[in-house]
Chain A
Amino acid sequence: MEERIQLQVSGLVKRFGTETVLDGIDLCIRKGEVVVVLGPSGCGKSTLLRCMNGLESPSAGTIFLDGEEVTSDGKKITQLRQKIGMVFQSYDLFPNKNIMDNITLAPVKVQKRLKSEVEQDAERLLKRVGLWEKRKAYPRELSGGQKQRVAIIRALCMNPEVMLFDEVTAALDPEMVREVLDVMLELADQGMTMVIVTHEMQFARAIADRIIFLDNGNIVEDSKPDEFFTNPKTQRAREFLQTFAYKKRRTHTD
């Protein structure tokens, strides 16, 4: 991990109407760092991610990506978004395009790269996740896990500097969760800067360099994963982690 700051969030506030979803977030993410954002639902995790690539515009505060401010200004934000890939819970592949076209569309049309060159990148990545045979298939012919891996590759082919993952396994069958998480682990090993929102606690612990715990729009805890999971600093985090522990309650007496 380098010392260079990749993503700088300062005093970020986001309101929807009268409701304050993010209430002054300060966060500094270094290049190559893998940050997992945890927290109860409705705490603003997804909103934080969406602000980072300009899908939501902040009510107050600033976000800098590589020294450039993330604004909702049309031209500039499309420039900036090429540096920051995002993968969504619902995959959102384009159903009217086959897998290869889904992947090559933005690099060719937005970054004006050569189609053959992008296809080489796509081939390498598709082969690595075992989906090369599906290149001519349409999204509806793929399983959820396969779609999500394609969505990750689609974002990667833009050669982003940061990748945002918004609950990417939440809509998947348990068996398919693994295949997606493995792709993300590999990406982390390669030194990609990643911000991940997830409910997979084991995975969070394995992949994270840092855990951010959000509650009520505030960062309640910012610590190393081992520290967070074994010895959380705050009561709120302890309560949160307890909801994931199940005690055996029932015994069979028949």
Chain B
Amino acid sequence: MELNFDFMVKYLPWYIDAAILTVKIAFFGILLSLVVGVICSVVQYYRVPIIRRIISVYIEISRNTPLLVQLFFLYFGLPKIGIVWSAEFCAIVGIAFLGGSYMSESIRSGLESVEKSQIESAASLGMSNALTMKEVIFPQALAVSVPGICANVIFLIKETSVVSGIALADLMYVTKDLIGLYYETDEALLMLVVFYLIILLPISIIASIIERRLRYAGFGN
């Protein structure tokens, strides 16, 4: 197999731009999904009436529909009721909508793992529920949730490849574009894989280091 290196060098800037877009969508989408996840998990943890039911429905919808369908809904569906968002904004909201439920479930399992006696001992010191959550429950829960959160982060970055479906020039989109234009399939696909690995490998490595630290050290080292 002969690779056309001139082609690869020539279109490298396309890939760099696309990678920046992918990272940008992933970063803001994941950040937002963490916010959604924290809010949803805390509401579920305290069994807040009504809101808790609404969140359960959200979680089921979010986890049982494909991201592409969610994006189509945001990008093509919402304008029909007068809400027009840019493709990029739709992509970020879509990632957050999908990721929020996964993050919520990860964080909730952490929250549930904190022993009830910890809450009672905080209460016996006169601490309010909010203070107990902030100082006692949440930090301990996070240590348990981190492996799940890391897995979600990687999953969500990979899911961003779907945003090409709403005409965003991410890595997937650029690749399909170049193949369509020049038939340089091998080169384009090779660069696609390499760029995804450049983004994901460091994150995977960092995640496994964090996980190992949490597993073997815990608090106090």
Query: Which of A's residues lie within 8 Å of B, judged by CB?
Result: 53, 55, 74, 78-79, 81-82, 84-86, 88, 90, 92-98, 105-106, 109-111, 137-141, 151, 154-155, 158
Please judge, given known A-B contacts A138-B219, A138-B220, whether A94 and B136 are in contact too, CB under 8 Å.
yes
Residue of A at shortest CB range from B139? A96
Say whether B193 faces chain A, with CB atoms less than 8 Å apart.
no
Report whether B126 and A82 are in contact in the complex, using a CB–CB cutoff of 8 Å.
Answer: yes
Say whether B128 faces chain A, with CB atoms less than 8 Å apart.
yes
Please judge, given known A-B contacts A81-B123, A109-B127, whether A88 and B140 are in contact too, CB under 8 Å.
no
Give, as a whole number of angstroms, the nearest-CB distance from B113 to chain A.
Answer: 12
Please judge, given known A-B contacts A78-B127, A140-B220, whether A92 and B121 are in contact too, CB under 8 Å.
yes
Report whether A86 and B124 are in contact in the complex, using a CB–CB cutoff of 8 Å.
Answer: yes
Please judge, given known A-B contacts A88-B117, A109-B131, A138-B219, whether A55 and B123 are in contact too, CB under 8 Å.
yes
Which of B126, B135, B140, B143 lies at the interface centre, i.e. has the most chain A CB atoms within 10 A of its CB? Answer: B126
CA distance A244 to B118 in the complex (A): 32
Give, as a whole number of angstroms, the nearest-CB distance from B136 to chain A.
Answer: 5
Q: Which of A79, A95, A158 contacts B125 (CB 8 A)?
A: A158
Say whether B120 faces chain A, with CB atoms less than 8 Å apart.
yes
Which of B121, B125, B129, B143 lies at the interface centre, i.e. has the most chain A CB atoms within 10 A of its CB? Answer: B125
Chain A residues whose C-beta falls within 8 Å of the C-beta of B120 in the assembled complex:
55, 88, 92
The 6 residue pairs across chains A and B that have the minimum distance between CB atoms: A138-B220, A92-B121, A106-B125, A86-B124, A82-B126, A81-B126
Say whether B79 faces chain A, with CB atoms less than 8 Å apart.
no
Query: Which of B's residues lie within 8 Å of A, judged by CB?
Result: 115, 117-118, 120-129, 131, 135-136, 139-140, 143, 218-220
Which of A88, A94, A139, A151 lies at the interface centre, i.e. has the most chain B CB atoms within 10 A of its CB? Answer: A94
Q: Which of B121, B128, B131 contacts A88 (CB 8 A)?
A: B121
Chain B residues whose C-beta falls within 8 Å of the C-beta of A95 in the assembled complex:
140, 218-220
Pull 20 A–B residue pairs with CB atoms less than 8 Å apart, ordered by A: A55-B120, A78-B126, A81-B123, A85-B124, A88-B117, A88-B121, A88-B124, A92-B121, A93-B121, A94-B135, A94-B140, A95-B220, A98-B220, A106-B122, A106-B126, A106-B127, A109-B127, A110-B127, A138-B219, A158-B126
CA distance A137 to B220 in the complex (A): 7
CA distance A102 to B123 in the complex (A): 14
Report whether A109 and B135 are in contact in the complex, using a CB–CB cutoff of 8 Å.
Answer: yes
CA distance A107 to B97 in the complex (A): 40
CA distance A138 to B115 in the complex (A): 18
CA distance A88 to B115 in the complex (A): 13
